[in-house]
């Protein structure tokens, strides 16, 4: 479903500020794979997600999604088949618009005709059904402005909006990092449910190593633009957080520098 061939990205090349954000990244995900990405500060995790979303283009290498070379395809064209949830609950939804208007925008990404038709009774009913799966009562608040929702409710809505159109790839960009612990577990459980139900191919960046171990069937650890360690379904199940820290030290000969990861657990 996803193939990364020898991806390189350097910011400000040949200047004193040169930053090698991605070096020689080659990976493949099968349909339904769920990879969690951890790593040190500035390891290239966000750059990798941006490259998948099309908001950044690689200097070298290719990105293939579902058998198509999308390397040069701009972000707005990829939005049809890529769902993304950001760290900040304020990103990804329009606060001045209602829940149903926000959902209509998501629907419009994959189905232009739906926008011309406007919100029909049938569409509204479908929105209500999707919202009810969140089990937080948003199906009764279709006409509430999204700006009035709490951070957790808003992130749940973002997750739904990113997935109800059944994208080929779901990108989760530290999507629980700004939430308090009770809301965080709500969003993690929703993530598990939605991904499992739809068998979504998912790429999730997290600073929480326990979360990275708990979720998904694959794991990539990054440092200085490279994937320095990976685990698949079988060996991921036995890994612990101390194992991950040790792996990092074995490969790099130094401790992982990640303030947030180490604080998180």
Ligand X SMILES: Nc1ncnc2c1ncn2[C@@H]1O[C@H](COP(=O)(O)OP(=O)(O)OP(=O)(O)O)[C@@H](O)[C@H]1O
> What residues have CB less than 8 Å from 93, skipping those under 6 apart?
102, 146, 154, 157, 158, 161
CA 132/CA 117 separation, integer angstroms: 24
Q: How far apart are the first and last CA of the chain?
A: 32
The footprint of ligand X on residues 215-254 (CB under 6 A) is none
Q: Does 92 bind ligand X (CB under 6 A)?
A: no
Nearer to ligand X, 21 or 209 (CB): 21
Least distance in Å: CB of 188 to ligand X? 19
* Residue from the set 1, 5, 8, 19 that interacts with ligand X by CB under 6 A: 19
Strand partners, 222: 39, 227
* Residue from the set 5, 23, 42, 90 that interacts with ligand X by CB under 6 A: 42
Nearer to ligand X, 10 or 126 (CB): 10
Least distance in Å: CB of 179 to ligand X? 17
**Nearest by Cα to 260 from 203, 219, 216, 206:** 206
* Residue from the set 4, 36, 45, 167 that interacts with ligand X by CB under 6 A: 45
| Residues in binding contact with ligand X, number by CB under 6 A | 11
Sign for the pseudo-dihedral over CA of 96, 98, 102, 107? negative
- Give the chain's largest Cα–Cα span: 61
Q: Does 32 bind ligand X (CB under 6 A)?
A: no
Q: Does 21 bind ligand X (CB under 6 A)?
A: yes
Least distance in Å: CB of 53 to ligand X? 13
Nearer to ligand X, 45 or 84 (CB): 45
The CB-side HSE value for 197 (13 A sphere, CA atoms) comes to: 13
Q: Does 24 bind ligand X (CB under 6 A)?
A: no
Say which DSSP state 57 is in. Answer: -
Q: Which of the ranges 43-51, 65-73, 77-85, 239-247 carries the binding residues for ligand X, by CB under 6 A?
A: 43-51
H/E segment holding residue 35 = strand 34-39
Least distance in Å: CB of 80 to ligand X? 25
Q: Does 43 bind ligand X (CB under 6 A)?
A: yes
* Residue from the set 33, 34, 36, 47 that interacts with ligand X by CB under 6 A: 47
CA 256/CA 46 separation, integer angstroms: 17
CA 88/CA 214 separation, integer angstroms: 22
H/E segment holding residue 8 = strand 2-11
Nearer to ligand X, 134 or 221 (CB): 221
What are the residues binding ligand X (CB under 6 A)? Answer: 11, 19, 21, 39, 41-47
């Amino acid at each position: 479903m996803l193939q990364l061939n020898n991806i390189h990205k350097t910011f400000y090349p040949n200047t004193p500020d040169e930053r090698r954000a991605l070096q020689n990244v080659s990976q493949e995900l099968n349909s339904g794979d769920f990879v969690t990405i951890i790593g040190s500060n500035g390891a290239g995790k966000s750059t990798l997600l941006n490259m998948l979303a099309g908001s950044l283009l690689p200097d070298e290498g290719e990105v293939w999604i579902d058998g198509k070379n999308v390397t040069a395809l701009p972000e707005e064209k990829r939005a049809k088949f890529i769902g993304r949830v950001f760290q900040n609950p304020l990103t990804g939804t329009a606060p001045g618009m209602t829940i149903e208007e926000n959902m209509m925008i998501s629907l419009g990404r994959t189905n232009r005709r739906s926008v011309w038709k406007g919100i029909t009774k049938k569409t509204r009913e479908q929105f209500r059904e999707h919202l009810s799966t969140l089990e937080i009562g948003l199906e009764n608040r279709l006409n509430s402005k999204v700006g009035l929702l709490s951070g957790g409710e808003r992130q749940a809505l973002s997750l739904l909006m990113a997935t109800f159109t059944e994208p080929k790839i779901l990108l989760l960009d530290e999507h629980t990092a700004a939430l308090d612990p009770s809301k965080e577990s709500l969003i993690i459980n929703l993530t598990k449910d939605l991904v499992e139900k739809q068998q979504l191919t998912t790429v999730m960046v997290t600073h929480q190593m326990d979360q990275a171990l708990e979720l998904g069937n694959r794991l990539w650890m990054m440092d200085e633009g490279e994937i320095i360690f990976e685990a698949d379904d079988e060996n991921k199940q036995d890994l612990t957080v101390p194992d991950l820290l040790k792996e990092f030290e074995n490969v790099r000969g130094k401790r992982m520098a990640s303030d947030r990861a180490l604080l998180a657990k």
